[in-house]
Homo-oligomer: A and B are copies of this chain.
Amino acid sequence: MDSVPRLETPPHEASRVAVPVKARGLAERYLDVRRATVALCDSLSAEDCVVQSMPDASPAKWHLAHTTWFFETFLLLRGAGRYRPFKPGFEVLFNSYYNSVGEQHPRPRRGMITRPGLDEVRAYRAHVDEEVFLLLDRGAAADLLEVLGLGIQHEQQHQELILTDLKHLLSCNPMRPAYAPRRESAGAAAAPPGWISREEALRWIGHGGEGFCFDNEMPRHRQLVAAFEIAVRPVVNSEYLEFMADGGYRKPELWLSDGWATIRSEGWEAPLYWLREESRWLQFTLSGVREIAPGEPVVHVSYYEADAFARWAGARLPTEAEWETAASGRPVEGNFAESLRLHPAPASAGPAPGQPVQIFGDVWEWTQSAYAPYPGYQPPAGALGEYNGKFMCNQMVLRGGSCVTPRSHIRSTYRNFFYPRDRWQFSGIRLARGIR
């Protein structure tokens, strides 16, 4: 076997929550995240919160209830014998996909649930919050605190989904209503394109050290990553418009076979939410319809479109190991949900030499890696083992978070995953290429 110089630090194969959890800090964080979820729906009517626009998307009210069910089921009902469920039936209505817990109301029919109403779901949330605090006051065991931490992360995932699903719903209304007022970005020009490179090395991939991570980010392990270049910033609209103008959607040689079949059967000729108005393109955003800004990262493209664009550009998509290598050590800064912009923006600052910009926030970046278990991966025992592991087929990994991701939710080892044809997430493109 060839020996390869180690380039990175040895791994800390720590347990997922390595240090004793400070329950007090966790309680505050719980409160912050729970409030933030509700705040997302402040400007919505009960009607906005009940409708399901497609099987992939869920109503906001369902998100509000499901995240609460998560704490009720995995924390309160395990915490002590005395807790009784808020209301019979909710254990079926708001179970997403945990077969180990029991039956589930079918996903495509989440929008049929007009009752309980939004007010009752808010009462459900308040009730569970109160019980969580009582449990913390009584002192919760370490494994429950770990579940609490997981529930907080879980709720942040659903904060993002509330926004992505709501965007889809509002887009189905021909009146094109807005969720929030538009916030202008300071600078409208994209950073110039360019490449940064990394040498061949045996890299440590996956999460190590302290801090929360999901099970799918572990075990931390070594992987031989050949030398590669990765784009300094995501692909922007002006570049994507060039691809379109060059007939990108009409040239089969640019597309994966499944991608070509998809764009033909779906009639796609632009990213999701793009609207043709006579000779120009507009796009629907959470702030209504606007022009296509040339310097903004292109968003709402499928894996197929990302892959075809890369081929057109003479490049390819990065593997997740390459992406993680490039992102490793970068500060988690960028255009996140907290900016309330809710749309990608041109890079607001120039790159440090040899470092990528916008690697976090703005758009989730498709990688060419299928979502698969890391070597030695073991899902947790019990129902929470269904959280991630059973989805490790047919999906592709995306990295880096987006403009609707909470900032505190993301990290360089974070693995998001969607089907190649999915477009309703805030998904975009960063190019890569080998070094020969």
**Residues from 336 to 377 in A contacting B, C-beta threshold 8 Å:** 368-370, 372-373, 375-376
Given A253-B99, A370-B372, A375-B434: A92 touches B174 (CB 8 Å cut-off): yes
Given A256-B393, A258-B393, A392-B256: A51 touches B89 (CB 8 Å cut-off): no
**Which residues of B are found within 8 Å of A201, using beta-carbon distances?**
1
Chain B proximity of A118: nearest CB distance (Å): 7
Picked from B51, B172, B436, the residue with its CB within 8 Å of the CB of A376 is B436
Chain B CB within 8 A of A221 CB: yes
Q: Are A375 and B226 in contact (CB under 8 A)?
A: yes
Closest B residue to A259 by CB, please name it.
B393
* Interchain CA distance A82-B373 in the complex, whole Å: 55
* Interchain CA distance A431-B307 in the complex, whole Å: 33
* Interchain CA distance A351-B51 in the complex, whole Å: 48
Which of A28-36, A108-116, A123-131 contacts the other chain? A108-116
Q: Are A45 and B114 in contact (CB under 8 A)?
A: yes
**Which residues of B are found within 8 Å of A89, using beta-carbon distances?**
174-175
**Which residues of B are found within 8 Å of A45, using beta-carbon distances?**
46, 114-115, 117
**Residues from 247 to 269 in A contacting B, C-beta threshold 8 Å:** 252-253, 255-260
**Which residues of B are found within 8 Å of A48, using beta-carbon distances?**
114-115
**Interface size range of chain A in the complex:** 35 or more
Picked from B47, B93, B175, B221, the residue with its CB within 8 Å of the CB of A174 is B93
**Which residues of B are found within 8 Å of A259, using beta-carbon distances?**
393
Central interface residue in A45, A105, A368, A386, by most chain B CB within 10 Å: A45
Picked from B117, B224, B252, the residue with its CB within 8 Å of the CB of A223 is B224
Chain B CB within 8 A of A208 CB: no
* Interchain CA distance A99-B203 in the complex, whole Å: 39
Chain B proximity of A328: nearest CB distance (Å): 14
**Which residues of B are found within 8 Å of A2, using beta-carbon distances?**
202, 222
Picked from B117, B221, B420, the residue with its CB within 8 Å of the CB of A393 is B420
* Interchain CA distance A92-B173 in the complex, whole Å: 11
Chain B CB within 8 A of A298 CB: no
Q: Are A393 and B114 in contact (CB under 8 A)?
A: no
**Residues from 366 to 397 in A contacting B, C-beta threshold 8 Å:** 368-370, 372-373, 375-376, 385-386, 390-394
* Interchain CA distance A97-B373 in the complex, whole Å: 32
Picked from B51, B53, B117, B368, the residue with its CB within 8 Å of the CB of A372 is B368
Central interface residue in A53, A257, A369, by most chain B CB within 10 Å: A257
Interface string of A28-70 (1 = CB under 8 A from B): 0000000000000000011111110100000001000000000
**Top 6 A-B pairs ranked by shortest CB distance?**
A370-B370, A99-B252, A112-B172, A47-B114, A47-B50, A1-B201
Offer 23 A-B interface pairs, CB within 8 angstroms, sorted by A.
Answer: A1-B8, A1-B202, A2-B202, A2-B222, A45-B115, A46-B46, A47-B47, A47-B117, A47-B118, A48-B114, A50-B50, A51-B114, A93-B175, A99-B253, A99-B260, A105-B174, A112-B172, A112-B173, A224-B224, A370-B370, A370-B372, A375-B434, A394-B420
